[in-house]
């Protein structure tokens, strides 16, 4: 489900009378999807996950690398896969290697001397070049084929992982780990191997975006809610928590604010007894579930409140569309 929110609400939700934002031009209607999918993403570069030093710092950690760093090249050779890093180290014969790294958008270089362990030269770090998990598709645009999912980025907190691409695949929910106070729940099911429903092209801090299969994602389009129309009160979310079916569940929008920086425009509480019985509230995998109010698409569920799994946050649809437009412009 994305980042866990542990901060209290008293300070966060004071002063809600903010200026209503003017979002960029957006379509008049979109299809709310609410379908749970498996997401297989390939990162652009190799990301540092953690270090494996036991009673001392590993060579990579001692050289100054940090979890979340993106390794772009070794000795000037670009990296696309983790296996390429291992190949470069095997050819180093123990000599220092120079890593080109990006950290929070800043280019850096580190010289690291590998150490010999059990016949292999290693830097003492764990890396990844791909990621997989479950999420929910928020909307589909029949006019362009664009879809959006999650409502927040994958990995990296406020600096999402840079991806080379990915696939949204068909999946079925096989079980649910219920959310409890202090422990987020999650939807369980295969994230890989299903039939492709669309190609993921961008990972932004406000969602994943790509182009999808109309036969799988298309449906009845609904108008988009203007930010000024969104109010505290009854609403519904569309999501799947069993098999491959999407159902509608009642929620209450408790507060509205405009917080594009943290993707927390809305505060929600689940009121539907069926969803509370099944999941305990909002769980990981429900990120992206479309929120509708008065027959209009408002936005998407993004986070669960860890100390109260019946509550969570959502992002306005306009903020998701702004991110999709910005990502397209940057790519162009």
| Catalytic pick among 58, 186, 287, 289 | 287
Could you tell me the two tokens for 260? 């594009």
Nearest to 33, CA basis, from 210, 160, 271: 210
Helices and strands (H, E) in the chain, number of each type: 6, 21
Of 58, 129, 152, 186, the active-site residue reads: 152
In Å, what is the CA distance from 211 to each residue of 165, 168, 243? 11, 10, 24
3-state SS assignment for residue 56: coil
Helix (H, G, I), strand (E, B), or coil: what is residue 255?
strand
Q: Cα(257)–Cα(265) distance, rounded to whole angstroms?
A: 5
For 215, residues 6+ apart whose C-beta sits below 8 A from its C-beta are none
211 is catalytic: no
Alpha helices in 13-125 (DSSP H): 59-63, 82-90
The answer to whether residue 272 is catalytic is yes
Q: Which of 44, 213, 259, 272 is catalytic?
A: 272
**Active-site annotation holds for 262:** no
Q: Where are the alpha helices (DSSP H) in the chain?
A: 9-12, 59-63, 82-90, 214-217, 273-279, 317-331
List active site positions: 152, 272, 287
């Amino acid at each position: 489900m994305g980042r866990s929110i542990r901060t209290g609400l008293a300070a966060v939700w004071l002063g809600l009378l903010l200026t209503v934002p003017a979002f960029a031009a957006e379509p008049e209607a979109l299809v709310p999807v609410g379908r749970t999918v498996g997401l297989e993403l390939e990162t652009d570069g190799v990301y540092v996950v953690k270090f494996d030093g036991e009673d001392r710092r590993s060579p990579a950690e001692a050289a100054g690398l940090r979890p979340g760093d993106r390794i772009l090249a070794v000795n000037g050779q670009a990296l696309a896969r983790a296996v390429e890093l291992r190949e470069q180290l095997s050819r180093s014969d123990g000599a220092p290697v120079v890593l080109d790294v990006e950290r929070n958008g800043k280019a850096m270089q580190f010289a690291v001397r590998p150490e010999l362990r059990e016949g292999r030269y290693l830097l003492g770090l764990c890396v990844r070049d791909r990621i997989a998990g479950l999420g929910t598709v928020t909307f589909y645009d029949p006019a362009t084929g664009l879809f959006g999912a999650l409502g927040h980025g994958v990995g990296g907190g406020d600096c999402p992982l840079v991806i080379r691409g990915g696939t949204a695949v068909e999946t079925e929910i096989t079980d649910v780990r219920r959310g409890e106070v202090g422990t987020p729940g999650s939807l369980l099911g295969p994230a890989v191997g299903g039939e492709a429903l669309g190609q993921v092209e961008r990972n932004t801090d406000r969602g994943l975006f790509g182009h999808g299969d109309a036969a799988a994602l298309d449906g009845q389009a609904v108008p988009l809610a203007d930010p000024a129309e969104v109010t505290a009160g009854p609403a519904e979310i569309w999501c799947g928590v069993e098999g491959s079916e999407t159902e509608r569940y009642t929620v209450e929008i408790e507060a509205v604010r405009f917080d594009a920086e943290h993707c927390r425009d809305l505060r929600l509480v689940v009121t539907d007894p069926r969803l509370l019985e099944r999941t305990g509230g909002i769980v990981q995998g429900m990120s992206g579930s479309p929120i509708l109010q008065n027959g209009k698409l408002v936005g998407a569920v993004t986070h669960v409140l860890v100390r109260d799994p019946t509550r969570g946050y959502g992002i306005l649809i306009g903020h998701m569309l702004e991110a999709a437009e910005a990502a397209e412009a940057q790519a162009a």
